[in-house]
Amino acid sequence: MPPEGPPHLIDSPDLGEIIVDAEALQARVAELGAQITRDYADRAPLLIGVLKGAMMFMTDLARHIALPLEIDFMAVSSYGNATRTSGVVRIVKDLDIDLTGRDVIIVEDIVDSGLTLSYLRRTLAARGAASLEVCALLVREGLQKTDDELRYVGFRIPPKFVIGYGLDFAEKYRNLPYVCTFEGEA
Ligand code: IMP
Ligand code: MG
């Protein structure tokens, strides 16, 4: 943390450089909400938040979309307690709402390898949605093959493990109101 920078919410050597501060996050989330409001005018999109990482982003984003939207959540597991992908994605909590004919927007915290997202896309596409788009708060530069599947992106970030604003390391630090690097032992 730079000496002149804002203090961290939590006093821990695990917390490093602030990658996206709270103000920038809120401003960008408002922009994304306005864009979705325009793109889905006269429709009622179904936002699907991918738990738990997308929780903060989802609740902030939804409040900037001026449409009669609906919200559902899904939980998949791909990481366990490590900072590297296990390569295994499975559904831990499935949706409550039927996707038939719905305009679905998958809300993700971060796209890293893209593995989680391509699994979700494949799975949800088979359920009869009218449309299926993705809104990712963060995209880590350089690792995923294609970007064309990402309709809405908040920020592109350097290839470092980050925490905060929903993102965790071993379930901790989701409550930071900004995104910073994780400097602890993985
Ligand atoms: P992917 O399948 O490799 O794209 O990984 C996506 C998921 O891994 C995200 O939804 C996060 O839950 C988790 N993840 C990836 N990178 C990070 C990170 O830097 N911090 C915290 N979680 C991460
Ligand atoms: Mg996630």
Output the pLDDT for position 170: 95
8 Å CB contact between 141 and 112: no
Per the document, the length of the chain is: 186
Q: Which residue's C-alpha comes closest to atom 11 of ligand 1?
A: 110
pLDDT tens digits for range 135-159? 999 999 876 655 568 999 999 999 9
Q: Which residue's C-alpha comes closest to atom 19 of ligand 1?
A: 161
Query: Which helix (DSSP H) or strand (DSSP E) does residue 36 occupy?
Result: helix 22-39
Catalytic site residues?
Answer: 112
CA 140 – ligand 1 centroid, Å: 9
User: Is the shortest distance between the CB of 85 and ligand 1 below 6 Å?
Assistant: yes
- CA–CA distance, 60 with 29 (Å, rounded to integer): 7
Rounded mean pLDDT, 74-103: 81
8 Å CB contact between 151 and 125: no
- What residues contact residue 174 under an 8 Å CB cut-off, 6+ apart? 52, 53, 55, 56, 163, 164, 165, 166, 167, 168
pTM above 0.85, yes or no: yes
- DSSP codes of every residue in 83-126: SS--S--EEEE--SS--TT-EEEEEEEEESSSHHHHHHHHHHHT
User: Is the shortest distance between the CB of 55 and ligand 1 below 6 Å?
Assistant: no
User: Is the shortest distance between the CB of 109 and ligand 1 below 6 Å?
Assistant: yes
pLDDT tens digits for range 18-29? 999 999 999 999
